[in-house]
Amino acid sequence: METTRFTHIVVGAGSAGCVVTAKIVENPNSHVLLIEAGPDSNPAGAEVPQGVRNARKVPMKGQSELFDPTIDWNVVVDIPGGQSMIVPQAKIMGGGSSINGGTALRNTAADCREWAGLGNDSWDFDTVSRIYQELEDDELRGTRGLHPIVRTLPDEAGRIQKAFAESALASGFQGVLDFNEPGAEGVGPSPVCRRGHQRVSASNTFIDPIRGRKNLTILTGTEVDMVEFSGKRATGVVLADGRKIAASEEVIISAGGIFSPAILQRSGLGSSSLLNSLGISTISDLPVGHNLSDHVCIPIVAKPRIGAYANDDYSLQMQARWSSSLLPGWTDLQMVCFSYLNAPVPSPGTQARSLSGSAVGHVAGIGCNLNKPTSMGSVMIKCTDAREAPKVAPNYLQTDQDRKAAREVVRKAFEVITSAPMQRVLTEPTGLDVSILESDESLDDWIQRQYSTTYHFSGTCRMADQDKGGVVDQSGRVYGVQGLRVCDASIIPTSPAANTMWTTMMFAQRIGKLVAASYTEEKYVTQDFDKRMVLGASRL
């Protein structure tokens, strides 16, 4: 590998990195190095980590007994009040798509309007809808892309999932079959990425078919320290072990909402005050690591009644989505029914939290999600050591709007979970009753003790005009330098009103096409191409 001439280096083989790599490799003039910190997930290679291919459960600690701790970064997240929680973040080819629930929800038209307000007029709803269509192999929508999307019909669902849908309908929700239809709100099946009972990751779809290409090299089990520069131009990467690898054209950072900003900061891209305090020379003074967003989740859990759950049931099948009284038309609230969480007994003295709330063992229930949070946090490195995790502070539920929205979704979920259909399959909710719901103050206290995360970290390398807090422009290029892009959830301008995986892959599909089309052996041709894109004349 040391003698190989790489045109592009992609750092991180997650949901974004796999997609962007596949698009660049389509250009035969390129030679791409894809670097992943975790192990490979190729079924033809080493043994696939436990639980990764089984779509019936989510192979994360706290969700299933089937999980592999070696493929999880186990990120420690600070939360208000001096507490912390450990949040799963995938460390494997395919990234989150290899271990998450596989939900493939499109972002909304309201999201695109919000993004345009930050200077991203090329990411309008019609354009992103076409990019989604390119990705999706969805029989219901009639699309024939590469990545499979399926839905479980309500009458095919497990008993707990079926009861949730029945209860939500009785509580006033409309039935919805396709949540990716613009404006769809109600209750129905989640669109998920699987074939049969097998989870299908971004690595399965986009990397496995091209592993034999001569212009692709994959390097797993390798952590990246920083981007190397010559002046203002990125020329390659420095690995955590000190080795250097050059890229003649571009470096694309796709390490996710937590680790992409950390790599940039160690490289001299970030707030000059932070960098100066750590003895790092500033190459470009940018708000890297700011605007951290996550969809907070407030779990309402209960024990399944005898016979309500079978071991081959799916944990996730049904959900409800709607707009709060605070944000009509924004689809900012979501309830996700889960049939199975394996809640561990916390160690003495720990402040650990999980989607099980305070319960332990096998529980089921409803995750209450805030899809448009207004509380922003940050990701900041604490030192120059690449093996030292950054300080992650999401700053959950710190605005009045978020607290009001949280009360609204919890009260609706309590109505659903205590209705007759769900009470036939679940016991009464653990630790939550009518007396708590009657008082805003009591409910706020309960929510503060229970809330957790959906693992949807985004926004830390925001795509926006530079005077509006942007780190990258509309094509993912980092301001103030050349030859460097970011392409993952960290560039999403504001939190989408949907699980972030599918939005992340949409951004990667478009930016990957742009990079592939803008490189020839002779020279860059990005300037005119990107100008057309930014002006909205090019619909990739």
CA dist list (Å): 457 to 286, 496, 517: 19, 11, 29
DSSP-derived 3-state class of residue 443: helix
Secondary structure of 173-199 as H, E, C letters: CCECCCCCCCCCCEEEECCECEECCEE
Specify whether the CB–CB gap between 282 and 40 falls below 8 A. no
CA dist list (Å): 450 to 34, 91, 131, 287, 325: 39, 27, 37, 31, 23
Burial of 54 (0-12, 13-18, 19+ CB in 10 A): middle
DSSP letters spanning 59-127: -STTT-S---GGGB--EEEEETTTEEEEE--B-STTGGGGTS--B-PPPPHHHHHHHHTTT-TTS-HHH
Task: Tell whether residue 128 is among the known ligand binding residues.
Answer: no
CA-wise closest residue to 397 among 368, 362, 354, 437: 368
Report CA 487 to chain centroid distance, whole Å: 12
Amino acid at 320: A
Whole-angstrom distance, CA of residue 356 vs CA of residue 297: 10
CA-wise closest residue to 256 among 38, 510, 531: 38
- Binding positions: 224
- Binding positions for FAD: 224
